[in-house]
Amino acid sequence: MKTILRSDELNCPSCVNNIESNLKGLEGIEKVTVKFNSGKIEVEHDPELVTEDDLLAAVMQSGYSAMVSPF
C-alpha cells in the first residue's frame, strides 16, 4: 500500500534524513521517499503491520507535523 503524507515544515535535507530514518525504522515499511521542496512524503508499507497513525507518529517523533494527503 502507498500512503502519501504532506508536511509544510520541511525545509532542508536534514529534515529528509530524520523523517526517512524514523519511518524506515518501523516494521512493515518497504520504501520511503521524502521531498523537502514539496513537503511530500511517500511511504510504501504493509497496512497490516503499520497504520497511517503509525506513519504520522514517526514523522512527529522526527520533530515535524504531517497529514495524510489524498494525492
CATH number at residue 8: 3.30.70.100
Structural domain including 23 reads 2-69
Tens place of pLDDT per residue across the chain (71 aa): 999 999 999 888 888 999 999 999 999 999 999 998 899 999 999 999 999 999 999 999 999 999 999 87
Amino acid at 10: L
Query: Where would I find the H helices in the chain?
Result: 13-24, 52-61
pTM: 0.93
Q: How far apart are CA 32 and CA 21, in angstroms?
A: 9
* Domain total of the chain: 1
